[in-house]
Structure 1
Amino acid sequence: MVRAGLSAMVLLGLTASAQASTETGGPPAAPQHVSMSALDLWIVGGYLFGIVALGCLAGLRRRESKGSDYFLASKSLVWPMIGMALFATNISTIHLVSFAQNGYTSGLTYGNFEWMAAFTLVILSLFFAPFYLRANVATLPDFLERRFNRPCRDYLAILSIFSAVVVHIGFSLLTGAIVLEGTVLAAFVDSPEQYRFWTVVAMAAATAIYTIVGGLLAVVVTETIQTVVLLLGAACITWIGFRMIGGWGPLAESVHPVNLTILRSSADPTGITWYAVFLGYPVLGIWYWCTDQTIVQRVLGAKDENHARIGPLFAGFLKILPVFLFVLPGVICLGLVNTGKLPPLPELPDGSPNTEQTYTHMIKTMLNPGFRGIVIAALLAALMSTVSGALNSIATLFSYDIYKRWVPSVSERSLVWIGRCATFVAMCVAIAWTMALGQRDTTIYQAMVDVFPVVAPPTAATFVWGVFWRGTSAWAAFITLVGGSLLGLAVFLLTLSKVLTINSLFMAFILFAAESVAIVLLSLIFPHRHTAESESLVWKTPWEALRAEGAWRGLMDFRVFALVLVLVMAALYWAFSGSEPYFPVKAQLLLDGQPIVGCKVELQAENPRLDDTLYIGLDGRLTYGSVQRAGGAPAGTVLRLRLTPARDYIVEMQRRTGKDGRVETTEKIIAWVPHGEEITESVETIREDAAANNGLHGRVRVFRWRVGGTEKQVRTSADAEVEIRRATPIPDKLRAPEAVLIAQPNGELQVLELRSSGQVAKME
């Protein structure tokens, strides 16, 4: 009866939301601020209470304090639970929030991180899972000790804890905070971003409670429920958006063609090119899916080898869904905004859309009360499943690989309590890291990918060579782990400081190749002395992994299951691969030698699907096809330009003295104003308790203007140097689309100089 009621509510929400939205037409409406209803809040609150209670009860059901009960669920997990737990641990709020953002800005290309995972899950099933179970290990560092030596185990334990805190927990908590700030918290407080620290602490505490109490069994039981909630909530957004846009055909007509392709040419500005995907992702995938404790711990708790093999393959089929449930909604949102069926996204001070808010914008503007609560519960399910899985793996790693080494006589009961303490400490560190992540200038998902070269290439190289080549030596593995992670850290810092601009996905392949050469050479210099156990943990040939006497029969034979998965993924890649490259078009527009400021530029091509509208900032530059907005055109495409003054900017001049003693000036847009609107300025005294989001109080300068009858304002410090830059007036004779740009394969900057006399000059 409860299930029927829930189904009825879901169907009612789908129908009502879709009907109400498809009747909306005309120009884009003003941004809507839809508050959470009481029903939404009850659903979210009830879900949180229920999942925490369920996790605690599941863990307390087994009162034994044995380590295998707490850390490995007594090795009782069957393949459906393993598959759903793998999926739920992997999928976090970063997928829902950042993939929607990536879908809005770059189309389907970030879906490669999901579909390529299926191939590495096949590798886990065929080649790694059997060894892990046969070695009867509790952690992957334990496996490395049996294959190599103790130093490898110690270092991998530290590296694994680092990745769990930095990658799995930190980014998940950040995106969870963004979602709650845009939905639930906005119903109670103004400017919820001011309370982000307490939001993060509350989310961490709710997840840590049942993880600390119940161990892996609590984690897996809750992840199974959360997978269902997650898929249901995400499917709602996709289905409603798809009905609003009118189907695949209207969607394709409303967005740039490149948005609906998953494999891109070398010209793509995201750097997620076809060769980066096929060369770089396997490195990240083998590390993440085959050697990362947070993920593989579910396989280590398998009932037997067949369950350990089929579970990852089942997860591989589930990984087909995120492209349609998490990435595609961002593309749909772009199409709905382009056609005026959704209001524009909230804007940043320079007028560009705040794409971080893509998913929460869809929740606010597309869903009815009650139904909105279900989707937010799904977001929280994604967050809690990832964080709880990472916390449990940290507890296992610290207890078995670090503490037990120094205190080998520790009892099983004490080991469980040590694991719980490690969970608490790790969560505190993760909260601090989450707060530091707020300062970045790239998408959340790309920021996470930039961290991968620190851990992925050396770990993947060590495991791959260790499992497939018996000559791989212990000291070669240890040197590769340490040296590779330090090299990856240097690459990360250089990428962060913009010294290196190579996409992190392709950089992972370069590092893996270099470290593979190193591990082979070092193994020849320092030969390995095998024990009987280490000898048994190397495949004599890759085909040996396909021989299994006790394998299930029929479709449940892991070999048949794996073949079907590979064929399905190959068909999907073929269906979503575009054959025509789209090259970014970069230009600088000048009027009488001065950069054009604040103009709307309408690009018109022979193919109307390539038409677009861009806005020029302070330097006269525009880019058609960028990381922030997919676009571009085939080589030789002629793009005609229509210019209209559109935006005036309030600009703050920021000066600093460089190392050479010279004063450097940067210009920061702090607000944009519709062209021609009156802007008033005053100096006021603001009390601290009335400070705005930027925290300014005391004597401040306040700039005010009106938009559609609503007063807007922006504040700066009283001594700030501020200028008002009006949009460049464009003579009527230049407003017709006479100026042209031509798409070029090299993507070089094209300079167009317009003259008040009506002439257009092109300077290369």
Structure 2
Amino acid sequence: MGLGLAMSFGYWCTDFLVVQRAMIARNIAASQKTPIIAAVPKMLMPFIVIFPGLIAVALPYFTEGYSLPTGANGGPDYNMALPSLLSHYYPEGLLGIGLTALLASFMSGMAGNVTAFNTVWTFDIYQPYFVKNASDRHYLIVGKVTTIVGVLASIGVTYLAASFNNINDFLQVVFSFVNAPLFATFLLGMFWKRATGHGAFAGLLAGTLAAAAVHGLTIAEGKGGWITVVHEFGSGLSHAFNMAWIAFSVNLIVTVLVSLVTKPKKDEEMKGLVYSLTPKVWASEGPWYSRPLTLAVAVCLACLALNFIFA
């Protein structure tokens, strides 16, 4: 439940970068295809991430003159697996191109996340709740300052990430705090018209606090247990996945309970926001093999096949 529901759906359905690209599509068909097409390279990403590491570990046993760089602890620095492979196999000209492409991919993702951060803060939080009727110049300055703060915060977080065995473990912990409870809020908000704003806020707060409590009361690979240790998980991923499903479940329960005792909005105000009150539009133009439903089924089958093969 932690990975298959809370974390996976939480990423695809609440990630600003994915949703943003779907919202700027030229029509409904392109909008529906956006996450489906994006799922194809995402399914191949484990090959790109895992294979270079496996090659870098095995290569010293088969090739003379190659070894992984040494880390601060005196052991192999696995974070440098891909750069070390590039420097070993690429000639000087191609090495520059390869490193440039690697840095460009990192910067592209970072730029998208920084843009998402300043947009959400400026237009979804600052403008509605703090300064409602300021000039465009004022909001532009706020956005620029938010960008600087976001970059500085991300630099600070890298020191925290460095304490984890790998970046994937750290990301799963972050997602369990943020994406898992947020997905529960999205889910109820889209499919249950009785959900209220007070319920959503209370549920989101409770879910995040639940994740923090689990992290503080349990430990895995030396991480967590900052309150006290009542249970030890075998791996960091198991730790994060359990935090995710607990945060998701707590959010659902609290949102439902608070929504039932607070006043809901009228149906007229919920049109276009709740699935049951929104006119259904299905893209049906074009050949059958290019329609969103066909592509979605194909991607699901491919994902199931990969999981079956590599399970």
SS at match of 1:326: helix
Q: Does 1:571 align with 2:305?
A: yes
**Match of residue 126 from structure 2:** 403
Question: Which of 469, 482, 488 is equivalent to 2:205?
Answer: 482
Q: Does 1:497 align with 2:224?
A: yes
- Contact kept, 8 Å, 2:215 with 2:243, in 1: the verdict is no
Question: 1:596-654: per-residue Cα shift (whole Å, max 9, x none)?
Answer: xxxxxxxxxxxxxxxxxxxxxxxxxxxxxxxxxxxxxxxxxxxxxxxxxxxxxxxxxxx
- Contact kept, 8 Å, 1:453 with 1:491, in 2: the verdict is no
SS at match of 2:254: helix
| Residues 447 and 314 (structure 1), Cα distance of their counterparts in 2 relative to 1, 3 Å cut | same
**Match of residue 530 from structure 1:** 266
The count of aligned residue pairs is 297
Query: Which residues of structure 1 form unaligned runs of 5+?
Result: 1-277, 578-764
- Contact kept, 8 Å, 2:208 with 2:247, in 1: the verdict is no
- TM-fit CA distance, 1:555: 2.2
Query: Could you tell me the percent identity over the aligned residues?
Result: 27
Partner Cα distance (1:516, 1:283) in 2: 11
| Residues 299 and 436 (structure 1), Cα distance of their counterparts in 2 relative to 1, 3 Å cut | same
- TM-fit CA distance, 1:563: 1.1
- TM-fit CA distance, 1:436: 4.7
Partner Cα distance (2:72, 2:106) in 1: 29
- Contact kept, 8 Å, 1:551 with 1:558, in 2: the verdict is no
**Match of residue 153 from structure 2:** 429
State the superposition RMSD in angstroms: 2.8
Partner Cα distance (1:552, 1:282) in 2: 32
| Residues 409 and 523 (structure 1), Cα distance of their counterparts in 2 relative to 1, 3 Å cut | closer
**Match of residue 506 from structure 1:** 242
SS at match of 1:319: helix
**Match of residue 449 from structure 1:** 172
**Match of residue 560 from structure 1:** 294
Q: Does 1:371 align with 2:105?
A: no
**Greater relative contact order (Cα < 8 A, sep 6+):** 2
Question: Which of 464, 469, 479 is equivalent to 2:187?
Answer: 464
| Residues 409 and 552 (structure 1), Cα distance of their counterparts in 2 relative to 1, 3 Å cut | farther
SS at match of 1:370: helix
After TM superposition, the score normalised by the length of structure 1 is 0.36
AA at the equivalent of 1:520? V
| Residues 386 and 441 (structure 1), Cα distance of their counterparts in 2 relative to 1, 3 Å cut | closer
Mapping of 1:295-314 within 5 angstroms? 295-314=18-37
- Contact kept, 8 Å, 2:210 with 2:250, in 1: the verdict is no
Partner Cα distance (1:552, 1:530) in 2: 38
- Contact kept, 8 Å, 1:281 with 1:505, in 2: the verdict is no
AA at the equivalent of 1:368? P
- TM-fit CA distance, 1:399: 2.1
Partner Cα distance (1:349, 1:561) in 2: 47
Mapping of 1:125-144 within 5 angstroms? none
SS at match of 1:540: helix
- TM-fit CA distance, 1:385: 0.6
| Residues 501 and 553 (structure 1), Cα distance of their counterparts in 2 relative to 1, 3 Å cut | farther
Question: Which of 387, 410, 414 is equivalent to 2:110?
Answer: 387
| Residues 369 and 571 (structure 1), Cα distance of their counterparts in 2 relative to 1, 3 Å cut | same
- TM-fit CA distance, 1:552: 4.3
Partner Cα distance (1:487, 1:507) in 2: 8
- TM-fit CA distance, 1:464: 0.8
AA at the equivalent of 2:288? G
Mapping of 1:323-338 within 5 angstroms? 323-338=46-61
- TM-fit CA distance, 1:441: 4.4
- Contact kept, 8 Å, 1:454 with 1:492, in 2: the verdict is no
Partner Cα distance (1:348, 1:414) in 2: 46
Question: 1:122-148: per-residue Cα shift (whole Å, max 9, x none)?
Answer: xxxxxxxxxxxxxxxxxxxxxxxxxxx
- TM-fit CA distance, 1:480: 0.5
| Residues 334 and 430 (structure 1), Cα distance of their counterparts in 2 relative to 1, 3 Å cut | closer
**Match of residue 691 from structure 1:** none
Q: Which has the higher helix share?
A: 2
- TM-fit CA distance, 1:300: 2.5
Partner Cα distance (1:338, 1:351) in 2: 19
AA at the equivalent of 2:307? Y
- TM-fit CA distance, 1:384: 0.6
AA at the equivalent of 2:299? L
Question: 1:92-141: per-residue Cα shift (whole Å, max 9, x none)?
Answer: xxxxxxxxxxxxxxxxxxxxxxxxxxxxxxxxxxxxxxxxxxxxxxxxxx
Question: 1:655-685: per-residue Cα shift (whole Å, max 9, x none)?
Answer: xxxxxxxxxxxxxxxxxxxxxxxxxxxxxxx
**Match of residue 82 from structure 2:** 359
Question: 1:357-394: per-residue Cα shift (whole Å, max 9, x none)?
Answer: 22222122222221211221121012111111011112
SS at match of 1:548: coil
- Contact kept, 8 Å, 2:178 with 2:208, in 1: the verdict is yes
AA at the equivalent of 2:252? S
- TM-fit CA distance, 1:450: 1.8
Q: Which has the higher strand share?
A: 1
Q: Does 1:516 align with 2:252?
A: yes
- Contact kept, 8 Å, 2:118 with 2:143, in 1: the verdict is yes
- Contact kept, 8 Å, 1:363 with 1:372, in 2: the verdict is yes
Partner Cα distance (1:327, 1:442) in 2: 15
Partner Cα distance (2:183, 2:152) in 1: 29
Question: Which of 110, 133, 140 is equivalent to 1:416?
Answer: 140
- Contact kept, 8 Å, 1:302 with 1:308, in 2: the verdict is yes
Partner Cα distance (2:255, 2:142) in 1: 35
SS at match of 1:344: coil
- Contact kept, 8 Å, 1:468 with 1:541, in 2: the verdict is no
- TM-fit CA distance, 1:469: 2.1
- TM-fit CA distance, 1:283: 1.1
Which one has the largest radius of gyration? Answer: 1
AA at the equivalent of 1:548? W
- Contact kept, 8 Å, 2:283 with 2:291, in 1: the verdict is no
- Contact kept, 8 Å, 1:466 with 1:538, in 2: the verdict is yes
- Contact kept, 8 Å, 2:53 with 2:82, in 1: the verdict is yes
Partner Cα distance (1:480, 1:507) in 2: 15
| Residues 305 and 426 (structure 1), Cα distance of their counterparts in 2 relative to 1, 3 Å cut | same
Partner Cα distance (1:393, 1:350) in 2: 36
